Amino acid sequence: MFPKQLILKELSRYRLGTYADIIYRNALLYPDQEAFIYGSERITFYEFNQRVNSLIHALQSMGLKKGDVIGILSWNCLEYTDVFGAAMKGGFIASPFNPRLKADELYYLINYSEANILFVGSELVEMVDLLKPRLKKVKIFISFEALVPNMIAYNDLLTNYSSAEPNVEVVRDDPLYIFYTSGTTGTPRGALYTQHQKMQDTRIYAQALGVEIGDKHVMIMPLFHIGGHAQFWTFFYAGGSNVILKFFDPVATLKIIQEERATDIHIVPTHLVAMFALPDFDNYDLSSLKRIWYAASPMPVELLKKAIKKFGPILIQGYGQTESGPLVALLPKWAHKVLEKPSDGQEILSSCGQPCIGTHIRIVDDKGNDVKPGEVGEIIVQGEQIMTGYWRKPDETKETIIDGWLHTGDLGRYDERGYIYIVDRKRDMIISGGENIYPREVEEILYQHPSVKEVAVIGIPDPYWVERVHAVIVLREGETVTSEEIIEFCKQRIARYKAPKSVEFVDSLPKTPSGKILKRELRERYWKGERKI
């Protein structure tokens, strides 16, 4: 451990401008406090710093230098955090990949990233063996599992190299991460972030959540996802703990909250649906929860109301995206108390809140002019947390960041109080018979139907209307309903031209790992060879 005089001396020279500073500071201040819990393993802040140092020395011995890209292909695990930490303190660029992707998708992304080295989770070894001959720059493969042929065993790096502080100067403008868009509108792009941009994210999150030393966060979101990543490191930044689950399982998640007396969890709507579907949900003691953060995909208002009744007004909504950072607008806990006072205006539950501190949001028309309250336009964002640009894609960067404003591609409106309402993705808007129809509005109506579990509304080709409203529905278990009943249900509640003209019942909807419904996949078979995919 560190002697007190050293602690005082070291703290005096740190400005906490980078994650490297935070890792070292926490090792000094909270050496015996648990930083990460994964299964039976419990790692303190001091131990984490030591592990990170050893990994940096190991990578340097392999020839890696500051600014090199290190790829990670794994489900959530303890080793994942070490690799992120090594990037933070060693000046490397971390490039996490989605393990749910197919071989061709991974081949494209790994080559696009220009990764020099690839860390591989135990379940992904066979996939990587298939990819190896096609990977251009990756020369070193490190397996989180021991004794994998033609791969270096990860644990050997921790045991065979020094844990002394590395001699690397990391500054705020150093590139740190490449996070990939979900590919809901086409080929994924890598959003490049610096140390400062991600630190700004963390500070905004910490302020928004009010995280304290000793708070405990259950990590079910994938670490390769920008939203999950931000939540995760916010608790580290504040001196809290992270309980890591490999991936989401409703029973395992509820058990962990109960056993660890967790204070926080970050979810998407599908997680709530899965948990509420458990017959013994009400038997779990979830009273330790102080905050439930929801983001990544739209929360149906009916589901949100149910969650507030189950948990109380402890929910917080964040709005952001891969390119903007995961938090540019916030609907805080107190706003969720409107169910107690209907006169306060429950409509704000369908908003994503107001701009965060240090973040500027405008809603503009196609000519870049600000729209009036209630009018729909594109949401554009400015703040220190937005990405530098797309990795190795200068033209796409110029199309997305114009005069310092990030164009999100999201359509929205704002009210007289400054609350922002996401209407839809610009690309998802349906134009039927010359009328603009926003799928999310139709989906909100469909979620009110007692038989509907999940729904996605898309536009499909129509010889008369050019494009028609089509609903793809997952029914609740044991429920039956006809297309005609669904269509009539909508016609009773919204303008007839907005109601679905056709309905399709499916067992499940295609989703990204963060829970976003892949509407592009649903549209593909209808628009093959047409203009709109």
DSSP type of residue 370 = B
pLDDT band at 275 (very low <50, low <70, confident <90, very high): very high
Answer whether residue 27 shows pLDDT above 90. Answer: yes
Backbone angles phi, psi at 139, to 5 degrees: -115, -20
What is the per-residue pLDDT for 15?
62
Place of tokens 């009273």: 287
Distance in angstroms (rounded) separating the CA atoms of residues 335 and 355: 14
3-state secondary structure (DSSP) of residue 269: helix
Question: ∠ CA(474), CA(476), CA(482), 5° rounding?
Answer: 65
- Condensed to tens digits (0 to 9), the pLDDT of residues 79-119 reads 999 999 999 999 999 999 988 888 888 999 999 999 999 99
Query: For the residues 290-302, what does the mean pLDDT come to?
Result: 82
- Condensed to tens digits (0 to 9), the pLDDT of residues 239-272 reads 999 999 999 999 999 999 999 999 999 998 878 9
- Closest of 179, 154, 220, 195 to residue 96, by C-alpha: 179
Answer whether residue 293 shows pLDDT above 90. Answer: yes
Q: What is the largest CA-CA distance in the chain?
A: 79
Residue 135 exposed, middle or buried by CB count within 10 Å (0-12, 13-18, 19+): middle
What is the per-residue pLDDT for 213?
94
- The answer to whether 33 touches 216, Cβ cutoff 8 Å, is no
Phi and psi based region of residue 436 (left: phi greater than 0; alpha: psi -120 to 50; beta: remaining) = beta
Residues of the chain with CATH 3.30.300.30: 431-527
- Comparing 13-17, 114-118, 329-333, 463-467, which segment has the lowest mean pLDDT? 13-17
> Which ranges of 238-312 would DSSP assign to H, the alpha helix?
250-260, 269-276, 301-311
Answer whether residue 520 shows pLDDT above 70. Answer: yes
3-state secondary structure (DSSP) of residue 392: coil
- Condensed to tens digits (0 to 9), the pLDDT of residues 341-395 reads 665 567 888 899 999 999 999 999 989 999 999 999 999 999 999 999 999 999 9
What string of DSSP letters covers 434-455?
TEEE-HHHHHHHHTTSTTEEEE
**Which amino acid does the sequence have at 400?**
T
- Closest of 463, 459, 441, 434 to residue 526, by C-alpha: 459
Distance in angstroms (rounded) separating the CA atoms of residues 71 and 205: 26
Question: ∠ CA(68), CA(74), CA(80), 5° rounding?
Answer: 65
Answer whether residue 297 shows pLDDT above 70. Answer: no
* DSSP-assigned beta bridge partners for residue 43: 36
Residues of the chain with CATH 3.40.50.12780: 200-426
**Which amino acid does the sequence have at 91?**
G
- Condensed to tens digits (0 to 9), the pLDDT of residues 321-346 reads 899 999 999 999 999 887 766 655 67
Query: Which own/partner contact pairs does 125-130 have at CB distance under 8 Å and 24+ positions apart?
Result: 125/151, 127/73, 127/103, 128/73, 130/103
What is the per-residue pLDDT for 9?
53
Alpha-carbon separation of residue 529 from 159, 335, 461, 462, 502 (angstroms):
55, 46, 11, 14, 21
- Closest of 320, 76, 117 to residue 217, by C-alpha: 76
Task: Provide the mean pLDDT of the chain.
Answer: 91
Tokens matching residue 113: 């990233």
Containing 460, the helix (H) or strand (E) segment is strand 452-462
- Condensed to tens digits (0 to 9), the pLDDT of residues 231-240 reads 999 999 999 9
**According to the 3-state scheme, what is the secondary structure of 302-330?**
HHHHHHHHHHCCCEEEEEEECCCEEEEEE
Strand order in the sheet with 117-120: 152-153, 140-143, 117-120, 69-73, 93-97, 175-180, 190-194, 389-390
Answer whether residue 533 shows pLDDT above 50. Answer: no
Distance in angstroms (rounded) separating the CA atoms of residues 510 and 11: 48
Q: Which CATH superfamily is domain 431-527 in?
A: ANL, C-terminal domain (3.30.300.30)
Backbone angles phi, psi at 335, to 5 degrees: -65, -25
Whether pTM exceeds 0.75 = yes
* DSSP-assigned beta bridge partners for residue 412: 377, 422
CATH code that applies to domain 200-426: 3.40.50.12780
Four-point Cα dihedral 189, 80, 513, 211, nearest 10: -100
- CATH class of the domain whose range is 44-170: alpha beta
Answer whether residue 158 shows pLDDT above 80. Answer: yes
What is the per-residue pLDDT for 531?
40
What is the per-residue pLDDT for 1?
61
Distance in angstroms (rounded) separating the CA atoms of residues 493 and 507: 26
What is the per-residue pLDDT for 355?
97
